[in-house]
Amino acid sequence: MASTVTGKVYDHEQIDEMATIFGTGDTLAERRISIVKDMKLRFMNKGLTKKQMINRLVDKYDPCPCGSGKKFKWCCWTG
């Protein structure tokens, strides 16, 4: 038997069932790494250029990733 923060008590069978439904409990950092790798593979599979990838990842009001100091919208954004 194990209890949770809310005080509800679960037996081991219920805990195993929840683990199969919700996953093994990867840390947030592991999930972020997995998501970034997945996004990178999707871009590579689509044959996008580096500039096209940046356009999809940077908001037009963010500083431009080229380092000019201008807003992305007024620098390298292709619209």
Q: What is the mean pLDDT of residues 30-52?
A: 70
pTM above 0.75, yes or no: no
What is the identity of the amino acid at 34? S
Q: What is the pLDDT of residues 43-66, one digit of tens each?
A: 666 666 666 666 667 787 888 877
pLDDT bin (cut points 50, 70, 90) of residue 42 is: low
Number of H helices, E strands in the chain: 3, 2
Q: Give the whole-angstrom CA distance, residue 1 versus residue 11.
A: 4
More confident position, 43 or 77: 77
What sign results for the dihedral spanned by CA atoms 6, 10, 14, 19?
A: positive
